[in-house]
Chains A and B, each alone.
Chain A
């Protein structure tokens, strides 16, 4: 049986949805995008153009809900299926868009550059429990206007996994779309085999900026999947109660669904988010707070109630170093998210309120994900009945180490974490250098960097990608891409 966890019953879910719909109809949403406002007006919404405000109707919401796909797939750069977002399937993806990277040697943070991104892409390509890559760092050695497209470029060049990404401006979308089309060959091929998911964030409470709302419609027009990232902050930009925060999250996410589905019915979306409680002592948005995780699991249940695939920013930590807090918050999150069946779980590698990536943490988190993925396979009987013959064999042989049953089920019943997780006895651990988790994680990073083999994406496609990126860089005054980018 696959283990699951639930926080809401259907009665409460229905009440939350009904309140959220009322908010959208009575209070409406502020949408800084004239195309969307007139589209909503065409569908019967009341619009206040001066205030950029739209009042939704129950009809518009129903219509939009009816066209959302209940599942969709992602494919890697080579076109192989890697993700099937539906039901209780779960996939992990690294936390995206960190401001800094944690340096192993100095244990200090630094602004990432191209070489850090390259290393990240090489490592994530090989971490088997993390199904996709994300554009996890913002390289600081290219002009700001291309920092979002450049990270997508590096990702597509170096790592085969599909990408979770996002644009920082309206203009950046065009090149980010072109890069994907270059990989697939045509716009149609891209629509058939999605390669990337774009994160699009409403602003709490009930507001859409021109950038993020335009990103939603641009993605919809090209059938590029979107994950909605609503971020109500309990007690600050949303009610302090978890239910109140869920109402806010539901209203914002429904407004995103309306924008995407009216623009292009059937566009794949993930019912996602990155809500948090607001810590009233430190003025921060703790992702490692248990209440934050409960809100994540609960809105995922609301998404599932609609029948939609879900996403969540959970399984990350607010610790500043790879310490016990980092491990505890990340594993608590990963565990709850997987039990709740969040389909796309964003977080691995991330520290410090979604602001710092660490390759060493990524390696550790890959093991956490591995254990969690094992856990949700649950406990199943595997030729365990009748028990008598196996126990007779045990009594006769004095052990089952080489029994056929052991050999058959050992590797599926037990998950074997890599060397970052210490399972040696003390004497052996001491004889092997008495290493800390930090050191073992770093050894693994070095090993992965050394054994990296280039992406099998054809050279001709890599050349097209590079030409596109170079052209874009030139537009913003950079004649040659940074050293080490290939």
Chain B
């Protein structure tokens, strides 16, 4: 079996140690790092997310696969940087000011990380200024915001508005989610996308970052 297929299959089974070893082997065989990433790790992760959406597998299976994905990524990362292959993207995540609900935000972070994104998690009760500051210093392409209370949703609007005032306007995209948030609200406040669950968050972030 082709080594990239082996990486993909073992990633789907959540064999993190094997995925790490196989990634090393593929590098030793001089396979281009970008191919290992796209046709090995991400190929496996894509199958996992399709199966999850179809309810063939459950959340723990996805998280195990994501863990295997990091194991491979850790080996691959220095080479990707050397080849100047841009990372999938950096996402600043947080639950908005006044809101302590972070379970959904954490799940979205884990899934995005599993899909190859770098996550800067600001935790909960995050002010608009903190979101923008972090996105700028971290050079992030996306700000992801979560709100679970009717009373804290308006903070999202402030972040989007504040971002629009900045010189870098347009370079940083915003995605929003959480129980009281919906597509219409996202549109109304000028956010770039709305995601209804963690798998959907990966889809919208992929779309926004052109993957």
Give the interface of A toward B (CB within 8 A).
Answer: 99-100, 111, 138, 140, 144-145, 147-148, 168-169, 203, 209, 211, 233, 236-237, 280-283, 353, 355
B103 touches A140 (CB 8 A): no
Cβ-defined contact, A283 with B59, below 8 A: yes
Interface size class of B (residues with CB under 8 A): 10 to 19
Contact among A138, A169, A203, A283 for B150, CB-based, below 8 A: A138
B198 contacts A283, CB within 8 Å? yes
In the bound complex, residues from chain B placing their C-beta under 8 Å from that of A138 are 150-151
Closest Cβ–Cβ distance, residue B100 to chain A (whole Å): 5
Contact B103 A236 (CB under 8 A): yes
Contact of B154 among A144, A209, A280, A355 (CB under 8 A): A144
On whether the beta carbons of A144 and B150 are closer than 8 Å, the reply is yes
Partner of A168, one of B55, B151, B154: B151
Query: Nearest CB to that of A236 among chain B residues?
Result: B103
| Closest Cβ neighbor of B198 among chain A residues | A283
Residues 103-121 of B, flagged 1 when their CB comes within 8 A of A and 0 if not, give 1100100000000000000
Whether a CB of chain A sits under 8 angstroms from the CB of B32 is no
A-chain residues with CB within 8 Å of residue B98 when the two chains form the complex: 168-169
Q: Bound state CA distance, A355 and B149, in angstroms?
A: 10
* 1/0 contact string of B12-28 vs chain A (CB within 8 Å): 00000000000000000
| In the complex, residue of chain A having the shortest beta-carbon distance to the beta carbon of B151 | A144
Contact A281 B103 (CB under 8 A): no
Which residue from chain B places its CB closest to the CB of A146 in the assembled complex?
B151
With the chains together, A169 CA to B100 CA distance in Å? 11
| A147:B103 contact, CB within 8 angstroms | no
B residues apposed to A, CB below 8 Å: 55, 58-60, 98, 100, 103-104, 107, 149-152, 154, 179-180, 197-198
A99 touches B179 (CB 8 A): yes
Complex Cα–Cα for A168 and B180 (A) = 15
Can you report 16 residue pairs joining A to B where beta carbons are below 8 Å apart? Answer: A100-B180, A140-B150, A144-B151, A168-B98, A168-B149, A209-B100, A211-B100, A233-B103, A237-B103, A280-B59, A281-B55, A282-B197, A283-B104, A283-B107, A283-B198, A353-B179
User: Which residues of the other chain, A, contact B151 by a CB distance below 8 angstroms?
Assistant: 138, 144-145, 147-148, 168
Interfacial chain B residues near A280, Cβ < 8 Å: 58-60
Nearest chain-A residue to B149 (Cβ)?
Answer: A168
- The residue in chain A whose Cβ has the minimal distance to the Cβ of B61 is A280
Chain A residue contacts of B197, Cβ below 8 A? 282-283
Specify the chain B residue showing the minimal Cβ separation from A145.
B151
Q: Given the known inter-chain contacts A169-B98, A211-B100, please indicate yes or no for A281 contacting B154, CB distance below 8 A.
A: no
| Distance in angstroms between the alpha carbons of A111 and B103 in the assembled complex | 23
Cβ contacts under 8 Å, B60 to chain A: 280
Question: Chain A nearest CB: distance from B103 CB in Å?
Answer: 7
Q: Considering the chains assembled together, what is the distance between the CA atoms of A138 and B180 in angstroms?
A: 11
What is the CA–CA distance of A168 and B97 in the complex, to the nearest angstrom?
13
Minimal beta-carbon separation of B143 from chain A (angstroms): 21
Residues in B whose Cβ lies below 8 Å from that of A147:
150-151
A291 to chain B, nearest CB (A): 15
* Residues of chain B within 8 A of A99, CB atoms compared: 150, 179-180
- Chain B residues with Cβ below 8 Å from A111 are 150
For A283, give the chain B residue with the smallest CB separation: B197
How far, in whole Å, are A211 and B101 apart by their CA atoms in the complex?
A: 13
